[in-house]
A and B are shown apart, each in its own frame.
Chain A
Amino acid sequence: MIAAKDKITPGQLMILVIQSQIGVSVLFLPSTVESIARNDAWISVILAGGVTLLLITIMWALSRRFPAMTLFEYLPLLLGKFLGKIVHVIYAMLFILACSLIAVQFADVVRDWVFSSTPSWIILGLLLVTSLYMAQENIRLIARFFVLTFGVIFVLILIAAYAFRDADILYILPINQAGIPNIFKGMLKAMTSLFGFEILLFSYPYVQGGGKGILKATLFANLFSTLLYTFLVFTCLIVFSPEELKIIPQPVLYMVKALTFTVFERADLYILTIWTVVVISTVIAYLFMAAKSVSALFGKKRHKGTAPFVSIVIFIIALIPHNQDTTNILQNLVAIFASVSLAALPLILLCISVFLNIKGKEQAEV
């Protein structure tokens, strides 16, 4: 049983999911999707949001059958002890690798844009130590912290919106220039940036109220993230010509770099500062999930003791990539793990649960 004082409200859950979804890719997404879907990239992002909607619903349906348990408590019930452990390890690997990837991308951007001669272990260390401090706590405190920092996302939107000054709507025409297959390929790329909703698997039993409210909150969160990403991609598409986007990896930063307000210059530094907060919340979420899954693997109830070791592992993995190739390998690895454990596994688990009629014993108190 979970005590009422450890619970979070559906509103907090919504922000928890938003903050875990919106992360590093705020900067990368426009050019990665554009490289495939050309000027129809914004359609790809909306489609990706639609598919995520489906994945969330599956995950929610699975969690609803075990309303008082987290993923790792009901995994053995569904798959048996041995198979359950294997799947458990896959999840743990996903969270650790995804977290490392975020850290690597963060360090790269900071090196390219601001601190060119600061060694990356310092930047990684500062990022992870700050996140670790928060990730050791329980989900209620994390949710509260996320609510507190939620406002910065709107500042990000405001600064980006100022770039509309240089925009030319003609750049997105003609629609469907890339062709349907490319739009769908772009969608797959865009999917990775919407990952983070898997925190639902960990937070479901902690949310007050019934299952419907939880679904609603998560779907709203997904809608918000999708809209934010679409807005950013759309803005970049109409500010830069397709040829320019090809050579600019972080177009959001680039487009605000030349903005000069009366007193402020270099708006990109402000965006980077805000973005750091956004990245830290994503790292907190992933570090939390990684620590939870590792501690469950060793049969521990609390994750506070495991979290430092997990962050050391992440730190070491994040130090390995020294060039674009190794980063790409890591990226592909995360993509594979994510598609297995976020798309395929929940569906399989749900099917097993429905057909063998395995359910959680106790209902969550309303």
Chain B
Amino acid sequence: MRRNLAYAVVGAVILMLCGCWDQQLLKTERNVSIAGMDPGTNGLLRATVSIRDVTSTESGSKDTNEVHSVLARSTQHARELLNEEISGSYSNAKMRVLLLGEEMVRNHDVMPYLDVYYRDPKSPLNARIAVTRGKAEDMIRIKMIGSKTIGLHIDELLNSTEEATVVPHVNIQTLHPLDRGYDFSLPYLVIREGIPAISGIALFSGTRMTDTLGLDESRLYLLMAGLKNINLRLTMKSVDRNKSNSYDYVTVEVKKLKRKLKVTVSKNKQISVKLNLKLRVTVMEDPRNHLYKMKIMHDLERTLSEQLTDEAKAIVHKMHRANHDGFGIARRLMSFHPKLWKQLDWDKEYPQILFNTSVSLQIVNTGITE
């Protein structure tokens, strides 16, 4: 009996020791919370990381962080170099955000630098990606905002703006841009008075950034792409577009979005796209207080619809110029017109596609006052 117990204990200990080959102790790891990539000199990569530390004192725990930059040949090489600079071993398994400097994505192909993220089983595929105006390094060097570290701040900033449908939900995994049949767009960050802020989205053509959209445009762009998240608010002029009076603005929240996207190919191979949006909205703010009259309500619906249609057309125009196929027209052609797709030179064809965009809006309710 005793002897059997001893065997069992020894057996169990030996079994558990098998885990020691792959042990990684949290206390020896330094976790990166945010990383940035900028082009360096001579085709090298300037990588910047912020490593988060939690120091606990008598008055509670406090976040601190340290920032390191290296000039490396590749992403993995940057990790090796960083490992030679920091105490403990480098780990990016808990990374939350990856920032790409604007110059990096405008003039260089960023995909080779991302390869290691897709290859390593421990890599943070759910880390968010964003583009920064200027250098990513400058933004990471801000280090702390209030009591929050920069990584946490930007992650939460992106999260809340995703929920408000200002920027698209993108992480390293969903980015993987291999022959998807549409172009992606990323959140665009700027430093405003020393603090990182969202200024819209960056449009990509293939893997190169080509243009940006402002905050109002990006909301409508996401509506047109059918990517409405939890809520979406639009503030627009309610009467005359050329006057400015603080009474003339109305804010609506989109409750329901119906989107119809139809790609048709005519006999002479002219591709045309019909994009129809139907919005059901709630009025959140309307200082004029006239909405109890049905006529005014319908007038408002009409003006807003017209405004949105015009803006939508402007966005399509911008996308054409940027060669950015954010609505997945290419995917539809691949799926429904595979023969035509094989003959097309997509980069030349895309700007010539006819878009027929229209937005119609319907007010469902107006809050607890009319």
Contacts and interface: CB of A to CB of B under 8 A. Distances in A.
Interface of A: 112-119, 122, 126, 166, 168, 170-171, 173-174, 177, 241-244, 247, 257-260, 265, 268
Contact of A122 (B18, B121, B174): B18
A114 to B, nearest CB: 7
Nearest to A253: B121
B345 interface: no
A177 to B, nearest CB: 6
Given A114-B121, A243-B178, A243-B179, A119 B21 contact: yes
Given A170-B335, A241-B181, A115 B126 contact: no
Contacts of B125: 257-258
A282 to B, nearest CB: 22
Contacts of B174: 166, 258
Contact of A244 (B171, B178, B334): B178
Interface residues on B, range: 20 to 34
Contacts of A118: 18-19, 21-22
B331 A170 contact: yes
Contact of B179 (A116, A168, A242, A257): A242
Contacts of B336: 173-174
A174 B335 contact: yes
Nearest to A113: B121
Contacts of B18: 118, 122, 126
A42 to B, nearest CB: 15
A62 to B, nearest CB: 43
A244 B111 CA distance: 14
A74 B194 CA distance: 85
A36 B54 CA distance: 51
A232 B258 CA distance: 30
B338 A257 contact: no
Nearest to B18: A122
Interface in B88-125: 121, 125
Contact of A115 (B21, B179, B328): B21
A131 to B, nearest CB: 15
A114 B22 contact: yes
Contacts of B334: 170, 173
Contact of A177 (B172, B176, B338): B338
B180 interface: yes
Q: Which 3 A-B pairs have the closest CB atoms?
A: A173-B335, A258-B173, A243-B179
Interface of B: 15, 18-19, 21-22, 121, 125-126, 171-174, 176, 178-181, 328, 331-332, 334-336, 338
Contacts of A166: 173-174
Contacts, number: 62
A210 B126 CA distance: 54
Given A242-B179, A258-B126, A170 B21 contact: no
A118 B18 CA distance: 8
Contacts of B22: 114-118
B121 A244 contact: no
A128 to B, nearest CB: 14
Contacts of A268: 121
Contacts of A241: 178-181
Contact of B126 (A170, A242, A247, A260): A260
Contacts of A171: 331, 335
Given A170-B332, A170-B334, A177-B338, 7 more contacts: A115-B21, A117-B22, A166-B173, A171-B335, A258-B125, A258-B172, A258-B173
A177 B334 CA distance: 10
28 contacts: A114-B22, A116-B22, A116-B121, A117-B22, A118-B21, A122-B18, A122-B21, A126-B18, A166-B174, A170-B181, A170-B328, A170-B331, A170-B335, A173-B335, A174-B335, A174-B338, A177-B338, A241-B181, A243-B178, A243-B179, A244-B176, A244-B178, A257-B121, A257-B173, A258-B126, A258-B171, A259-B126, A265-B126
A259 B180 CA distance: 20
A355 B305 CA distance: 81
A268 to B, nearest CB: 8
B281 to A, nearest CB: 26
Contacts of A244: 176, 178-179
B31 to A, nearest CB: 13
B144 to A, nearest CB: 25
Given A114-B121, A116-B22, A168 B331 contact: yes
A265 B173 CA distance: 14
B121 A112 contact: yes
Nearest to B22: A115
Nearest to A129: B15
Nearest to A117: B21
A247 B179 CA distance: 13
Contacts of B331: 168, 170-171
A262 to B, nearest CB: 13
Contacts of B179: 241-244
A259 B171 CA distance: 11
A171 B328 CA distance: 11
B15 to A, nearest CB: 8
B196 to A, nearest CB: 23
B160 to A, nearest CB: 17
A174 B172 CA distance: 28
A119 B18 CA distance: 9
Contacts of B181: 170, 241
Nearest to B341: A174
A31 B254 CA distance: 41
A47 B171 CA distance: 36
A116 B122 CA distance: 11
A244 B335 CA distance: 17
